[in-house]
Amino acid sequence: MIIVMKESATVAELGHVIKLLEERGFNPRPNHGAQRTVIGIMEATGNDLSGIADLPGVDQIAPFSSSFKMVSRDFKPEPTVVQVGDTAIGGQEFVVMAGPCGVESTEQLLSTARQVKACGGRVLRGGAFKPRTSPYSFQGLREEGLKILAAARQETGLPIITEIISPELVPLVARYTDIMQIGARNMQNYALLEAVGRERKPVLLKRGLMSTIEEMLLAAEYLMSGGNTQVMLCERGIRTFERATRNTLDLSAVSVIKRASHLPVIVDPSHAVGHVDYVADMCRASVAAGADGIIIEVHPDPAQALSDGQQSLTFDAFAELMESLRPLAAAMKRPMPEPARKG
């Protein structure tokens, strides 16, 4: 249930409603919006709401319109803006996160970071722990990779995003990274969601390979109900019968999520299409679909990449893409920063 307070409700009136709900066994969670406060009641810990609607300051009581609650617009009508360094994700700017699939060496990551920065990218990606389909594939440089990421941040000032693949790794990875990434394969790893939910650090939750939008929003609910409110969602393609692309990019998910939820939405065209030929088109389509940003793979020498080379852009292709995105983003009233120099 959701208890909507009047715009004119006082702090004392709000406090009284919350106290009464607690006395009746509920666990009320207020959200102080720009216009008014709403109180969400998520769990069925109490059952007596009689008289609450008539209390001073209360406007109305209504059920949530969906199974997800804290991530819904019912609970928080205003968009969530996640601040990472001096970049606001989910605000006006269209944010580009880019970098290699995996961190392979200092030279590989630093050269990529410089190009990402020079072309106007705002966040550097790079996997240090790689969840690979085959146990014989490159698994990542692990802590060494995290150190290289931190060095690239130090040099370029770009915040970093890297994946966490298990709950035990949360303290280690959280110490290094600015954004914690939960990968598609772990979207419903509830122990991991709970561990990341206890952190107070931005998180990007990627859609599972075979998950519905509702399942993704409920996974995000684990993070938020755990106390982590800095959640971003990522559409990265889902598995369908189509084999021309690695996955099928569900761009309509952007529109659906934007209406249902206040959380920022990022698109990952690289993992969605899985081939370099289609990445740029889908990046541009993501701008038009209303995404808050994209996350894409870039590599100094894709043919030699230890993972996902076939979908990684070269430096030149990345520079060209960024140039083509800028006017589209401007047309959508989502400015992008000017490049430091022409790439």
Binding site for ligand PEP (CB under 6 A): 101, 127, 131, 183-185, 206, 236, 268, 271
* Contact predicate 28/39, CB 8 Å: yes
Length of the chain: 343
* Contact predicate 184/208, CB 8 Å: yes
Alpha-carbon span 158 to 307, nearest angstrom: 23
The two structure tokens encoding residue 201: 């650090």
CA distance readout (Å), 110 to 19, 39, 87, 120, 149 = 54, 47, 20, 16, 8
Contacted entry of ligand PEP, Mn ion, none for residue 206, CB cut-off 5 to 8 Å set by kind: ligand PEP
Minimum CB distance to ligand PEP smaller for 31 or for 189: 189
Amino acid at 43: E
Alpha-carbon span 158 to 123, nearest angstrom: 5
Residue 302 C-beta: closest distance to ligand PEP, Å: 14
Minimum CB distance to ligand PEP smaller for 268 or for 292: 268
CA distance readout (Å), 247 to 236, 275, 293 = 8, 10, 19
Q: Which of 308, 322, 329, 334 binds Mn ion (CB under 5 A)?
A: 308
What part of residues 66-105 is at the interface with Mn ion (CB under 5 A)?
101
165: contact with Mn ion by CB under 5 A? no
- Candidates 83-91, 118-126, 257-265, 302-310 — which segment interacts with Mn ion by CB under 5 A? 302-310
Residue 162 C-beta: closest distance to ligand PEP, Å: 9
Beta-strand ranges (E) seen in 278-319 are 293-297
Residue 17 C-beta: closest distance to Mn ion, Å: 48
Contacted entry of Mn ion, ligand PEP, none for residue 104, CB cut-off 5 to 8 Å set by kind: none
Minimum CB distance to ligand PEP smaller for 104 or for 268: 268
Binding site residues, Mn ion, CB under 5 A:
101, 308
